Amino acid sequence: MAFATFFATVGVADIAFIFAGLTRSYTPRQRFVAATRGVLIATGILLFFSFVGNVILDVFGITLPALRVAGGILLLLIAIDMVFARHTGGTGTTTEEEAEGMTREDISVFPLAMPLLAGAGSISAVVLFTTGARTDLEFWMVVAALVVTMLVAWLTLLVAIPIQRLLGLTGMSVVSRVVGILLTALAVQFVFDGVRDSGLLG
């Protein structure tokens, strides 16, 4: 479940097109360096939130049920965007951010690492899963799922242009919509669990 959520919120199915567009003037070597640096930075950001998530909740007085409901709502909005092929700032870059990124020589930090890979959705998902882990084993399984997701994202970036040519716009849209449907159900489940654990229903 964690891997599927990270896969969707990181936007692995979408980053090929964006990265290919941002690096169309790059050499293969420059594309490799940008992809590697961006993924490493994004992984560091997400791992940071995975280890300090509980501290952040304690500082702001946020309960786990409240986080589950909030995270579920955010994931639901992202899933709806994926199903209807709309692009906002939840899983990737907005139009303004992408336009700014096109003018930069190094896109590895912005917009690749943030907000394309480590965006609001993926950070929320990381905090949600790590703080909800009941045992050390569950926690490390979540961390492992995160690392695997970022590895898949890195591999996807490396073959971005071939994937774009192979699947085309229609193929990528189908993948995105299927993942979006699954994420919708998962987001609703998060909200149900949060309301149930909050005690609001008695």
- The stretch 15-25 carries a mean pLDDT of 76
* The pTM of the whole model exceeds 0.75: no
pLDDT in tens, 21-66: 778 778 889 999 999 999 999 999 999 999 998 898 889 998 878 8
Burial (CB count <10 Å: 0-12, 13-18, 19+), residue 11: buried
Asked whether residue 78 carries a pLDDT value surpassing 90, the answer given is no
In this prediction, residue 99 carries a pLDDT of: 56
Three-state helix/strand/coil letters over the chain: CHHHHHHHHHCCCCHHHHHHHHCCCCCHHHHHHHHHHHHHHHHHHHHHHHHHHHHHHHHHCCCHHHHHHHHHHHHHHHHHHHHCCCCCCCCCCCHHHHHHHHCCCCCHHHHHHHHHHCCHHHHHHHHHHHHCCCCHHHHHHHHHHHHHHHHHHHHHHHCHHHHHHHHHHHHHHHHHHHHHHHHHHHHHHHHHHHHHHHCCCC
Burial (CB count <10 Å: 0-12, 13-18, 19+), residue 187: buried
Q: Rounded distance, CA 106 to CA 40, Å?
A: 15
pLDDT in tens, 129-169: 998 888 999 999 999 999 999 999 999 999 887 876 777 76
Share of the chain above pLDDT 70, in %: 86
63 CA to centre of own chain = 23
Asked whether residue 75 carries a pLDDT value surpassing 80, the answer given is no
In this prediction, residue 89 carries a pLDDT of: 52
